[in-house]
Amino acid sequence: MKSFRIVVLAKQVPDTRNVGKDAMKADGTVNRAILPAIFNPEDLHALEQALCIKDRFPDSTITLLTMGPVRAAEILREGFYRGADDGILLTDRAFAGSDTLATSYALSCAIRKIKNFDIIVCGRQAIDGDTAQVGPQVAEKLGIPQITYAEEIVSLTENKIQIKRRLERGVEIVESSFPVLITVNNSAPHCRPRNAKRLMKYKHASTLSKRQESEEDYLSTGNHAHLNIKEWGVVDIECDHAQLGLGGSPTKVKKVDNIVFQSKESRRLDDFDDDINVLMKELITSHIIG
Amino acid sequence: MNNVIVYCELDEGKIADVSFELLTKGRSLANQLNCQLEALLLGNNLKGFEKEIFPYGVDTLYLADDNRLSPYSTLPHTSVMVNLFKEEKPQIALMGATTIGRDLGPRVSSALKSGLTADCTELEIGDHEDKKLNKVYKSLLYQIRPAFGGNIIATIINPDCRPQMATVREGVMKKEITDANYKGKIVNLDVSKYVDETAFIVKVIERHIEQSKIDIKNSPVVVSGGFGVGSAANFKLLFNLAALLGGEVGASRAAVDAGYVEHERQIGQTGVTVRPKLYIACGISGQIQHLAGMLESSIIISINSDPNAPINKIANYVIVGKVENVIPKMIRYYKENTK
């Protein structure tokens, strides 16, 4: 039976979805430190699609690949709990300051090293940037086709995949051969929950840096090779250094402004009947409504 | 050479509004840069579209007319664009932040190793001084967008790479023709020279496109709900009020993510931009991304139980109270006092 080699691209992101007031500093900037770091939601949707492929072709392997600081290994562990076979953390100071293009270049070099991949799956976009660029940019760098906004795998055979993708006002079913890169939409099914057995098995999985930090017996994970999360730096991938990090990023942030809105003179009303009646009367007499 | 180019998108046989909006913006950028405005249209049976495109002040229209270019597919469109850009070296390339633009833009930027900024809310021309390199860049494209949870506005530039690429959502820029009799020239591209046979590897098997039933963009009244509305059931109140006032229901991203209403109703940087006569924000706290999509409303009413919700600062009227108490009162007064 055919087995697919699947790579899932994932990102650890600050949870920007419910930024409370306490997340804002007095000067109007975001206090990133207090936002929880999470598995980017659409990347979890992507992991689910990979697991669905593995359900149908059980000999398939799922490698989770993330780029970020050492801490980002947390989402690899989360991926193990849910069914990923292998995890790679791409981490190096040289990657710092990457824009989407430099990020996709580094990821594509890491994927080349993984080799023989059939399917790359990732979320459509990350919630901290919403650009939806890294997926297509990686596909272009690898010279493979892409299917964006995927919602469902309609059919899968040894050499073809059909995907339903969500458009603005409808759906489209497209067919591709392998290898292919798929970006998964937020309308796709949520990821299955953690598996209790896998949780027990992998809860101590860590990277070498992490073990060094905690001054454990870091050189060996004993007989538990699965507890070692692979960590790749610039030296581990074949790449052109000029295309990495800040230097390899064509876009630069010229300036960042905190937002100060000109406060309007707003009228304050309570939810008493009288207040609302006065407001509605004003709106009707000034022909804004009615 | 070194002009401003706009990728014109076909939406079920019609040019998308966002393309006209970008042509309008493109014309004004080209005037400031003292260069030409160009447009690129790919598809099948393109004769006649020039009559719609030239009035926006387009000097050159590139047509790639081939039945294999419709419906849209990533690789062939990328290939035409990348090869044309290699020849023509535009300094600025704009496209809609639509399903198509967001599929195509990053692919093209990756191939050309050029920077792309997604979902810009403003585009301007300005200079940049790099103090480290002691170098001054003249007339760059400032790509302005809210960033990081919408709490800041970032100005992004591409000092060294061309084209400077940006995507913009529909409705963000205004659409205005330059001159109904503007005359440009048509350049028909020989598609086979621009696209390799191997680009047709992905096949579209089926398409189901529905006519959009929701038209928030052109609605004079928008009743919009946020996470504070609390449930899909509570949203019914908003629908009732909107129906009564002849308006539409909008939503913040938090409400859409919570599944209260469909994504088509999302207002803000990554949704629709609206400029209604009246905007009633119900239980919306007012993150910048949301405000970016409704700031130009004539009258803004905020209904919020939190008297310090950020949106209150830009509201003309602030009603401190619960949405489920306030809306029925509005409905009742309106019913009793209008015909």
User: Where in chain B are the domains?
Assistant: 4-200, 221-337
Please give the helix or strand (H or E) that residue B223 lies within, else none: strand B221-225
Please give the helix or strand (H or E) that residue A83 lies within, else none: none
What band does A264 get if pLDDT is binned at 50, 70 and 90? low
Q: Which two tokens stand for residue A111?
A: 């994927």
Least confident of A113-117, A121-125, B231-235, B288-292: B288-292
Distance separating alpha carbons of residues A38 and A128, to the nearest angstrom: 11
pLDDT tens for each residue of B204-227: 999 998 777 788 988 999 999 999
Please give the helix or strand (H or E) that residue B317 lies within, else none: strand B317-320
Q: Is the pLDDT of residue A26 over 70?
A: no
At residue A95, the pLDDT reads 95
Q: B143 to chain A: which residues are within 8 Å by CB?
A: 251
Phi and psi, residue A39, nearest 5°: -70, 120
Q: Is the pLDDT of residue A31 over 80?
A: no
Q: Is the pLDDT of residue A227 over 90?
A: no
What band does A258 get if pLDDT is binned at 50, 70 and 90? confident
SS (H, E, C) B173-209: CCCCCCCCCCCCEEEECCHHHHCCHHHHCCEEEEEEE
At residue B271, the pLDDT reads 85
What band does B151 get if pLDDT is binned at 50, 70 and 90? low
Where in chain A does DSSP place strands (E)?
A: 5-10, 12-14, 37-39, 61-67, 86-90, 119-123, 146-156, 161-167, 170-176, 180-184, 206-207, 228-232, 252-258, 267-270
Question: Which of A27, A252, A260, A270 is the mutation pick for testing B, counting most B CBs within 10 A?
Answer: A252
At residue A260, the pLDDT reads 65
Q: Which residues pair with A162 in a beta bridge?
A: A155, A175
Q: Which residues pair with B142 in a beta bridge?
A: B124
CB neighbours of B255 closer than 8 A, spacing ≥ 6? Answer: B225, B226, B227, B229, B235, B261
Give mean pLDDT, residues A270-276: 90
At residue A116, the pLDDT reads 92
Instruction: Please tell me the CATH superfamily of domain B4-200, with its number.
Output: HUPs (3.40.50.620)
pLDDT tens for each residue of B70-103: 999 999 999 999 999 999 999 999 999 999 999 9
Cβ of B307: how many Cβ atoms within 10 Å?
10
At residue A29, the pLDDT reads 53
Distance separating alpha carbons of residues B15 and B301, to the nearest angstrom: 35
What band does A266 get if pLDDT is binned at 50, 70 and 90? confident
> Is some CB atom of chain A closer than 8 A to the CB atom of B210?
yes
CATH number for B221-337: choose from 3.40.50.300, 3.40.50.1220, 3.40.50.2300, 3.30.70.1350. 3.40.50.1220
Per DSSP, the residues of B136-161 read EEEEEEEEEEEETTTTEEEEEE-SSS
Q: Of A289, A184, A108, which is closest to residue B280 (Cα–Cα)?
A: A289
Strand A180-184 versus strand A119-123 pairing type: parallel
Q: Is the pLDDT of residue B165 over 90?
A: yes
Q: Considering only residues A127 and A120, tell me which one the structure prediction assigns the higher pLDDT.
A: A120
Q: Which two tokens stand for residue A149?
A: 């906004």
Helix (H, G, I), strand (E, B) or coil at A104: helix
> Is some CB atom of chain A closer than 8 A to the CB atom of B123?
no
At residue A128, the pLDDT reads 84
Nearest chain A Cα distance for residue B280, angstroms: 12
Distance separating alpha carbons of residues B40 and B61, to the nearest angstrom: 6
Question: Which of B128, B145, B205, B266 is the mutation pick for testing A, counting most A CBs within 10 A?
Answer: B205
Give me the percent of chain B exceeding a pLDDT of 90.
83
CB neighbours of A68 closer than 8 A, spacing ≥ 6? Answer: A11, A12, A89, A90, A91
Q: Is the pLDDT of residue A180 over 70?
A: yes
At residue B206, the pLDDT reads 92
CB neighbours of A164 closer than 8 A, spacing ≥ 6? Answer: A150, A151, A152, A153, A154, A171, A172, A173
At residue A32, the pLDDT reads 65
Q: Which residues of A44-55 are buried (b: 16+ CB within 10 A; e: fewer)?
A: bbbbbbbbbbbe
Half-sphere exposure of A50 (CA within 13 A, CB side): 37
Nearest chain A Cα distance for residue B161, angstroms: 6
Could you give the C-alpha distances from B247 to B143, B220, B258, in angstroms and in order? 33, 6, 23
Give mean pLDDT, residues B295-304: 92
Q: Is the pLDDT of residue A173 over 70?
A: yes
Q: What is the CATH number of domain A5-243?
A: 3.40.50.620
Q: Which residues pair with B144 in a beta bridge?
A: B122, B155
At residue A68, the pLDDT reads 94
Q: Of B289, B285, B334, which is closest to residue B312 (Cα–Cα)?
A: B285
Residue type, B93: A
Q: Which two tokens stand for residue B64?
A: 């790639």
Distance separating alpha carbons of residues B284 and B306, to the nearest angstrom: 10
pLDDT tens for each residue of A59-114: 999 999 999 999 999 999 999 999 999 999 999 999 999 999 999 999 999 999 99
Q: Is the pLDDT of residue B2 over 70?
A: yes
At residue A246, the pLDDT reads 92
Mean model confidence pLDDT for chain B: 94
Nearest chain A Cα distance for residue B317, angstroms: 5
Residues 21-60 of chain B whose Cβ lies under 8 A from any Cβ of chain A? none
Q: Considering only residues B18 and A25, tell me which one the structure prediction assigns the higher pLDDT.
A: B18
Mean model confidence pLDDT for chain A: 90
Q: Considering only residues B291 and A89, tell me which one the structure prediction assigns the higher pLDDT.
A: A89
At residue A12, the pLDDT reads 96
Q: Is the pLDDT of residue A265 over 70?
A: yes
Give me the percent of chain A exceeding a pLDDT of 70.
89
At residue A35, the pLDDT reads 80
pLDDT tens for each residue of B305-324: 999 999 998 999 999 999 99
CB neighbours of A215 closer than 8 A, spacing ≥ 6? Answer: none
Least confident of A3-12, A259-268, B22-31, B111-120: A259-268
Q: Are B20 and B175 in contact (CB under 8 A)?
A: yes
Query: Is B313 close to A187, i.e. CB distance below 8 A?
Result: no
At residue B218, the pLDDT reads 85
Q: Which residues pair with A232 in a beta bridge?
A: A90
Query: Is A270 close to B337, i.e. CB distance below 8 A?
Result: no
Per DSSP, the residues of A9-72 read EE-EEE--TT--GGGB-TTS-B-GGGSPEEE-HHHHHHHHHHHHHHHHSTT-EEEEEEES-GGG
Half-sphere exposure of B324 (CA within 13 A, CB side): 9
